[in-house]
Structure 1
Amino acid sequence: MTSQQRQRFIIGQVVWMLLGILSLTLLEALSLELFFVISLIGFLVIVELTAPFAVTPHWRRRLRWIILLGLIGFGYIVIRRVLAILPEGVL
């Protein structure tokens, strides 16, 4: 049963990422940063939508580390964007 849940989780993430690439391409806004943010948002949504009620399988416990790395990457992107917006000499 858990392999079926894991497969459903992976398929959902791959579909989300493909739709993200397609959407960004159609909007002519495809960049690595935007793709990363859209993929992270999709990952967090899929993690919550597929969360079991009673028992957490072992493979889902490892998702915490992926979420942590994703949030660190997101923080890095936000800091870079803020520093790019700020005028010279503010920091």
Structure 2
Amino acid sequence: MTTGGQQRLVYGQVAWMLSAIFVLSVFGELSLPIFFVCSFVGFLIMIEFTAPVNVTPKWRTRLKWFVILGLILLGYFLIRKILSLLGTGIVP
């Protein structure tokens, strides 16, 4: 059973991701790494905007695993970009 907070988080994240797809498409910059960064930043913002004031529900404590996974993927995309800028030939 979902709560209002869970629904707000999911609806906000979906709206953010659709907006990111639209804006990136308009500017011709739609790629997986850029979309991921935009979506991850939106996820972090949605977590903060939907945070309850007094009590932390149990479902919110599980969000830390998504944040950790997002940080790992962000680090992966960052390392790939740095290596491609350095031109070491490691990244195809």
**Are 1:10 and 2:10 counterparts?**
yes
In structure 2, the gaps of 5 or more residues are none
The structural deviation recorded for 1:5 is 1.3
Q: In 1, distance between residues paired with 2:88 and 2:6?
A: 48
Structure with larger RCO (C-alpha < 8 A, sep 6+): 1
The structural deviation recorded for 1:4 is 1.1
The structural deviation recorded for 1:42 is 0.1
- Deviation string for 1:1-41 (max 9, x for gaps)? x6111111110000000000000000011101111100000
Q: Which runs of 4+ in 1 moved over 4 A?
A: none
**What TM-score do you get using the length of structure 1 for normalisation?**
0.91
**What TM-score do you get using the length of structure 2 for normalisation?**
0.90
* 1:1-91 equivalences in 2 (<5 Å): 3-88=3-88
Task: Note the aligned Cα RMSD (angstroms).
Answer: 1.3
In structure 1, the gaps of 5 or more residues are none
